[in-house]
Amino acid sequence: MQQTITHAAAIAVRQQQAAVMVVGYFYAVDLGDHVRPQHHRVGINAECTCALRCSCPAVDAVRAYLTDGGKRAERPPYGFYPVRPAKCPICHAKTATAKSLSSCNRGEGWTCPSGTSHYWQHRATISSMRQKLSVQGKIV
């Protein structure tokens, strides 16, 4: 057992041990067995699903991984949100998860400072866009 490890060395070890893997629409991040919780899931909205959200070190690990040319997570089908968008597409304010709006067709529901109105406005835009695309035979 190494007992004489310095603080600086410990940080270097920590960065080296962050392993990022693409799992469907998410990045699975392993921060090493000295970090609790060890396993994190970062969405394509650059937020971790753990309580630390965008300030989680796993988000930095994903950024470093992508800068290094790592494989990107799968893009979800048009209009499907595996995680809520980081910002409201209408007013660009921060969103909050709304479990009551989540569904398996739409993905994770969210609200913004307007309440649920921008959410439904955005869903209506998606629906009309989908209709146009299906008329043109672009999506089924």
- Residues in touch with Zn ion (CB under 5 A): 40, 48, 50, 52, 56, 58, 88, 90-91, 112, 114, 118
The nearer residue to Zn ion, 50 or 133, going by C-beta atoms, is: 50
Cβ at position 117, least distance to Zn ion in Å:
8
The nearer residue to Zn ion, 5 or 54, going by C-beta atoms, is: 54
Cβ at position 31, least distance to Zn ion in Å:
8
C-beta of residue 106 within 8 angstroms of C-beta of residue 79: yes
The nearer residue to Zn ion, 60 or 80, going by C-beta atoms, is: 60
Rounded CA separation 115/95 (Å) = 10
Cβ at position 13, least distance to Zn ion in Å:
19
Rounded CA separation 8/84 (Å) = 37
User: Would you state the torsion angle of the CA atoms of residues 39, 64, 16, 5, taken in this order, to the nearest 10 degrees?
Assistant: -100
The nearer residue to Zn ion, 54 or 139, going by C-beta atoms, is: 54
Cβ at position 76, least distance to Zn ion in Å:
20
Q: Is the peptide bond between 57 and the residue preceding it cis, with omega within 30 degrees of 0?
A: no
What the block records as the tokens of 78 is: 């048009």
